Amino acid sequence: MAWTRPSPLLIMVYDKTTLTALRVNGAQAPLSVPLAVNPLTDDPQVVAQEWRERLRPLGRLPRRVVVGLPLSRILACTVPLPTLPESEAEAYLRLQAEREFLLPPEELRLGLAVNSAAAGGLAVLAALAGRSFDNLERSLRLAGFRQITLAPAVAAASGTGTGLRLVMADDGADLVGSLDGRIVFLRRLAAGSGDPAADGAALPALLGDLRISLRQIPEALRAAVPTVEVVGHAAAADGLAAALRQAGVFGAWAVQARAASPSVAGMLCAELAAGLGGGRAPLLALSPLPSARVSTGLARWRRPLLTAAALVALLAIVGLSLALHQSRQRARLRSEWERLSPRVETVRALIDSARSRQPWLGDDAVTLDLLRAITLAFPERGSVWTTRLEISGRSQVVLAGQASDRDAWLKTLAGLRQTAGVRDLRVTQAREAAAGQAPLAFAVSFTWSRPVAGRAVAEERL
């Protein structure tokens, strides 16, 4: 990734007790001052005040800063990188970081740095706990910095070619391996500076840790490295290089001492400045990336989820529009009905009145057909006669009469039953005089419906 070198820019490298700062494109030498706080855990307000006080000799501070973190505060490992599409390689490495560092995803995504461009199918992962990352970034912003880049400071010692370097720090030694200018191995060794003269008791632990780490170096790097460099203060680097040769830790590899001037931290600042000047971004720059689990899941479903969300939003808008339109239609129709309802009620009353008087106004001879059917059912001789006839609703008929003898009455009743148009015939009264004397009184009711065609059965019978 190409790095656009900002100007002005401040580079800071700190360890447990010392802060070293260098202004890029500035004439000053690196500034080295004591540091009395822990930027990763102490209160950001206190740390910001410490930044301002310690950096006061540099004058007005720029708004851009690159901070080199001690490797003792960073988790780092090397993992194999299979052949994957570029879009999947980053997600794979994030998942590997979760497995290697055993931190919750919410912590890793705030402090995970991935170098997915490592050569030889290798990648180096570096992570900083999310709370530490946030604490340091907040203190830097309170100090006035706006564009902040965090990276392991010792990664700058990897150089631009192929090499294996043992960098001596005040609180430990760091082993850095690079292949074709790309870092492929990074390890913090046992505590102690590694200087036999100043810290001889820690030298055996350092040698043991170094032997273990050398077995884990990638084969591609092991085959390509001709010489191991020991980087540190002049006398300390010479002493450690001699001790390593005597112990035979590196086997057939040549061991050379390289003096860091004016100090290891100052050298790392200069290496960072040189890389930025050449347009290269700091190696293993930390950034608040999402975890592998979140990234792989959302990356796969992002487009379908966005499409589904767009469809749901569209359907919601259409549904809301239809509901609003229907509401307006109902309001308009209700207003029209309220305006027309008095007229409708008046017309409805007129129709009901006309319907009730329709028999009086119509020219239909329904009643005459009914009377004709009743007449045909009665005998021509006066043995059965009618005393009362009631017609209601042009269909409900109540007929009362008398008969001179029972047989004539039964014959007339049978004729009524067989008359077309007579339905639901019921005898409501049939009473004979005492001792069989005439006349016999009767009453019947039935429903009349006008026959469609033909003459009544009673007429044919008669």
The residue assigned the tokens 């469609």 is 452
Where does the pLDDT of residue 75 fall: very low under 50, low under 70, confident under 90, or very high at 90 and above?
confident
Dist. CA 147–CA 441, nearest whole Å: 120
Q: What residues have CB less than 8 Å from 228, skipping those under 6 apart?
A: 164, 165, 166, 244, 250, 253, 254, 255, 256
Instruction: Report if residue 295 sits inside a domain.
Output: no
92 and 122, same domain (yes or no) = yes
Query: How confident is the model over 344-370, as a mean pLDDT?
Result: 76
The residue assigned the tokens 């206190």 is 46
* DSSP secondary structure letter of residue 23: E
Position 219 scores a pLDDT of 81
337 and 412, same domain (yes or no) = no
Counting the structural domains of the chain, the total is 3
169 and 269, same domain (yes or no) = yes
Instruction: Report if residue 3 sits inside a domain.
Output: no
**Residues 187 and 119 sit within 8 Å (Cβ to Cβ):** no
Choose among 257, 159, 178: nearest CA to 217. Answer: 178
One-letter amino acid for residue 184 of the chain = V
* DSSP secondary structure letter of residue 42: S
228 and 199, same domain (yes or no) = yes
- Is the model's pLDDT at 154 over the cut of 90? no
- Is the model's pLDDT at 443 over the cut of 90? yes
pLDDT tens digits, one per residue of 187-230: 888 665 555 555 556 778 888 888 888 888 888 888 888 888 88
370 and 418, same domain (yes or no) = yes
189 and 306, same domain (yes or no) = no
pLDDT tens digits, one per residue of 387-397: 999 988 778 89
Q: Residue 104: which CATH number?
A: 3.30.420.380
58 and 192, same domain (yes or no) = yes
Dist. CA 443–CA 427, nearest whole Å: 6
Query: Computed from CA positions of residues 229, 267, 53, 276, in that sequence, does the dihedral angle turn out positive or negative?
Result: negative
Task: Say which range, 1-15, 105-119, 436-450, has the weakest mean pLDDT.
Answer: 105-119
- Is the model's pLDDT at 135 over the cut of 60? yes
Taking the CA of residue 441 as centre, how many other CA atoms within 13 Å lie in the half-sphere pointing to its CB?
A: 6
Position 460 scores a pLDDT of 47
φ/ψ region of 144 (left if φ > 0, alpha if ψ in -120 to 50, else beta) reads left
Which residues span the domain enclosing 269? 9-290
